[in-house]
A and B are shown apart, each in its own frame.
Chain A
Amino acid sequence: MKKICKNGYKISNADEKALNRYLNVDFNQWIQNALNGMINKATKSIINDYLELYKSKQTESIASDLSILIPAIIEMPEFKSYNYSTVEEVNIKRKQPSNKEVIENGFEIEDWQEQALNAFYANYEDQLYYFMKNKVNRRKEAFNKEFTNVLMKEKSNIPVHQDDLIDLITARSGYKTRKQEDAEMLAKITETQQ
């Protein structure tokens, strides 16, 4: 087993509120899902691109266990690292301190999964941290856009800073997170059908 993202990742209260407006799972679970997606993409790319070559070099049947197959493929002299990266600069606008740890203990992955990530991504930890930062940034922008429109329609004052706008809106009575809205909507639909 390998432990990754040992340095953790901290978000602010406003970050968390903006995420909860849209996410149907906790942010920690979202990150775990993102990591699973990265492992899946790396593994499938390696298998799709190199399995036939690997098979052509064997005389008997080959193991289908990925923990055996992935390291064996990566060890082939013909294998070339992909150096895949979609990392871009992300600037999160924050007024509040980032003091909420969301991945305190990092994540544990299998050795072969770490090998696959390492062979596919230019830097898999940088990639995952980019996904986290991008997600926070995108949801804060989405929150800002959604509720700036609400405030404009109400002819209310609009806080200049995103964090102030998030605090203002989430303090309102009747404000709901995504989880609350989903649960209420499901209850309404099933109740009216019975």
Chain B
Amino acid sequence: MANQNSLNNRPDANRTEKSIPVYGASGALTEIGPLTNGQLAIGDSGDPPSAASLDSAGGTITITPGAGTINLEQTNTLDVGDSGFLAYKNSDTSSATGDGSVATISANTEVFDTGNDYNTSTYNFTAPSTGKYYLGTSACGTNIAGSSATAHIINLTTSNRNYQFAYSGAAAIQNGALSMSHAVITDMDAADTAFGSVGYYGGSKLVILTGSAGIYTYLVGMLMA
């Protein structure tokens, strides 16, 4: 019992404040710690317990140590359809393009936004997790000067890539109007952004980017995998 009592019999000055007494090799009383925030005395079949922190090797649990507390929260994992949106432009924008200026698809009104990842002020979608996303957009321009129009381009731009679809010349324009659509399935990393834009070339900056509840100009996206 001499060993077991050795620590207990030490003068107070020789004990480490806030440490934990444990029996070590040959039953000798020793101590571990003091433990820092969130640390525990964790057992080892071959050795005395030691001070250690919880870990999540797979990153599926978020561990937040505090003074006298450990908070465990399951890391959010997203599945198909957990993030998706449809937003449209609700009113016209005059003089949006026509001279090659590129106008953002300013889809400012949501039909739905599962996951709250679309921003109706910046017109950006932010991917909540790394994955494959469906993205689509459509833009309706009016007041296009058909005789001088040269090119019409619609873009889906993500942080990683730009997907561009170009129409040429005046042939596609009907009564000064041209509606263009574009869709892709693309790779996005967590926190990447995506937006749509459109440019009409060859004329003056008089093209109206149409917006109404009829959803002529819109942006849509969905987590696919």
Contact = CB atoms under 8 A, between A and B. Distances in A.
B31 interface: no
A48 B115 CA distance: 11
B165 to A, nearest CB: 10
B193 A193 contact: no
B75 A85 contact: yes
A37 B193 contact: yes
Interface residues of B, number: 45
Contacts of A139: 160, 189
B184 to A, nearest CB: 15
Contacts of A84: 76
B160 A23 contact: yes
B172 to A, nearest CB: 12
Nearest to B189: A138
A186 B190 CA distance: 27
B116 A45 contact: yes
Interface in A19-57: 22-25, 30, 33-34, 36-38, 40-41, 44-45, 48
A86 B79 CA distance: 12
A193 B164 contact: no
A182 interface: yes
Contacts, number: 124
Interface in A177-194: 178, 182, 185-186, 189-190, 192-194
A122 B190 contact: no
B190 A134 contact: yes
B210 interface: no
A48 B116 contact: yes
A25 to B, nearest CB: 8
Interface string A142-172: 1000000000000000000000000000000
A37 B126 contact: yes
Nearest to B113: A44
Pick the 8 closest A-B CB pairs, nearest first: A37-B126, A193-B151, A88-B59, A34-B191, A44-B116, A131-B191, A89-B59, A85-B62
Interface of A: 22-25, 30, 33-34, 36-38, 40-41, 44-45, 48, 83-89, 122-123, 126, 130-131, 134-135, 138-139, 142, 178, 182, 185-186, 189-190, 192-194
5 contacts: A25-B159, A34-B191, A37-B191, A41-B116, A83-B71
